[in-house]
Amino acid sequence: MIQQSKEQWKTMGPPKVEAPCPKDFLLKHSKELKLPKRKKDVTKTRELNVPRRTDRPVMGVHSKKNFISTNAATAIMGVPKKPQQVYVDRHQGDKFLLETSGLVPKYVKKKDYGVTPKYVTKRTEEVQRAQEEYDNYIRHTLRQKAMKRLSDEDRENLIEGLKKNWEDVHREFQSLSVEIDTIPKKLHKERLEGQMKQLEHDIQTIEKYNVIYIANK
């Protein structure tokens, strides 16, 4: 056991590595990747038809085309170019195209301007058909339950009557004395306030719904 521990003690400690040579120090940019040298592209130079020093340009080639008459005919027969419509934002200001400014009434001059689109008409017909089916269903259901619909005239008369009653109660409420010092006066005031609140609630309810059904007596 003592001999084995001595062998383990010998293996412990720093590893025995050869010391680096002082001449092999790390140089600057030595770890950077170096690209290979660029080769000259010989194919491009061959494709270019570069004239030689001994080449001479072709001389004495003339055209029989009469450019004066051709230009005159083109100017006479050609359609004159229309000037672009522009607008200026201020005096001696910048110019902008009038077509893209939104000042030209394009949509008014369309053929279908002012015409109701087909999808809107179709949607309106579907809504109207659904409303008719719903009215028929309600009418049939109410007929079975012995209820009838309040007409528009009766509805207006009912609202006017409720408003008139509210005005009468409010006029009576304003005629109360300033000092409410007895129990009958307090009860009378509370009764008038309750009547006005109930009338206001009934008026708002009837005005909120256009269709009202009442039970047959």
Rounded to 5°, angle at Cα 152 from 148 and 158? 90
The answer to whether the CB of 149 falls within 8 A of the CB of 212 is: yes
pLDDT of residue 41: 63
**Domain total of the chain:** 2
What backbone phi and psi angles, to 5 degrees, belong to 179? Answer: -95, 120
- Residues with pLDDT less than 50, the chain: 2
Of 123, 145, 167, at which residue does a domain stop? 145
In a domain, 94, yes or no: yes
The answer on 100 and 129 residing in a single domain is: yes
Give the domain range for residue 89: 83-145
**85 burial via Cβ count (<10 Å: 0-12, 13-18, 19+):** exposed
In this structure, is residue 194 part of a structural domain?
Answer: yes
> Is residue 166, in this structure, part of any structural domain at all?
yes
Residue 123 is assigned to a structural domain of this protein: yes
The Cα 69–Cα 72 span in angstroms is 5
Nearest to 150 by CA among 206, 205, 208: 206
Domain end call among 102, 127, 145: 145
Give a yes or no: residue 5 inside a domain: no
> How far is 163 from 161, CA to CA, in rounded Å?
5
The reply to whether 166 and 112 lie within a common domain is no
**188 and 201 fall within a common domain:** yes
- Residue 52, domain member (yes or no): no
Q: Cβ contacts of residue 150 below 8 Å, gap of 6+?
A: 158, 211, 212, 213, 214
CA count, 13 A, side-chain hemisphere, 54: 0
DSSP 3-state percent helix, strand, coil across the chain (nearest 5) = 50, 5, 45
pTM: 0.35
Q: What would the two tokens of residue 94 be?
A: 């910048």
Bridge-based pairing of strands 147-149 and 95-97 is unpaired
pLDDT at 7 (0 to 100): 57
According to the model, what pLDDT value does residue 216 have? 67
Domain boundary among 92, 114, 145: 145
Sequence-ordered strand ranges (E) for 98-167 = 147-149
The verdict on residue 178 lying in a domain is yes
Q: Is residue 14 part of a domain?
A: no
The candidate with the shortest Cα–Cα distance to 190, out of 173, 209, 213, is 173
